[in-house]
Amino acid sequence: MITIDATLRDVKVNPKHIRQEGNMPAVFYGKGVETTAITTPLVAFIKAYREAGESTITTLKVGDKKYSVLIHAVDLHPVSGVPMHADFLVVPMDKVLEVTVPLVFTGEMPAAKLGATLLKVLHEVTVAALPADLPHDIKVDVSALAEVHAHITIADLALPKGVKVLDDAEEIVATAVEAQKEEEAAPAAVDMAAVEVEKKGKKEDEAAAA
């Protein structure tokens, strides 16, 4: 299991000073758990966040205590995208949770040889599972799309043991759509009558000037 080390934080300390030292301010809370301010090394948090996302149980170690948590919310810098603050939600391991899990598309779509393109309709689904069974992501194998207009629904997803998707089973996840052909604009027809009038007008003007 992924582990994030943290230390208790003095809320009187300016968060700017914490970040200048290479750390990130954060808090953890949960049912029966008091909201507590902490600090965690930024680089270590980024690594753990990439691995866990917001749907994988992580161990938060604060001093000699350990908590099973989800990375519940992350504030990112609007320009650099660097995490500025995070919330950790302490979860009971014996209670079913409902979380949003991202979809990861894998494989090659046979319908592409027929001129189709892949349209990804959904990018995440809501699932219910015990914390230990929560997946980091759910794979969508597009090799099942063998023909144009073929589609994959939520019911077609291969789910890990103990995981249930709460969204409509008939909802389309991805489909093979016919590629749009760009029609070349036909050249505008030349109005020969207008050309003749223009030539005649030029000749009359030249004659008048002579």
Is residue 57 helix, strand or coil? Answer: coil
User: Left (φ > 0), alpha (ψ -120 to 50) or beta: where does 128 sit?
Assistant: beta
- 57: pLDDT strictly greater than 80: yes
**In the chain, pLDDT over 70 holds for what percent of residues?**
86
**pLDDT recorded at residue 185:** 46
CB 151 within 8 Å of CB 172:
yes
Q: What fold, for 3-91?
A: Ribosomal Protein L25; Chain P (2.40.240)
Q: What is the residue extent of each domain of the chain?
A: 3-91, 98-178
Residue with tokens 């089973």: 169
**pLDDT recorded at residue 179:** 80
Burial of 163 by CB count in 10 Å (0-12 exposed, 13-18 middle, 19+ buried)? middle
Q: Where are the beta strands (DSSP E) in 9-149?
A: 23-30, 33-41, 58-62, 65-76, 83-90, 97-106, 116-120, 124-129, 138-141
Task: Summarize pLDDT for 66-102 with one digit per residue, the tens.
Answer: 999 999 999 999 999 999 999 999 999 999 999 999 9
Task: Please give the CATH number for the structural domain made up of 98-178.
Answer: 2.170.120.20
Mean pLDDT computed over 94-112: 96
Amino acid at 119: L
* C-alpha to C-alpha distances, 40 to 36, 45, 86, nearest whole angstrom: 13, 7, 10
The domains spanning 3-91 and 98-178 adopt the same CATH topology? no
Distance CA 16, CA 19 (A): 5
- 209: pLDDT strictly greater than 90: no
Distance CA 165, CA 194 (A): 68
Q: Which residues pair with 176 in a beta bridge?
A: 118
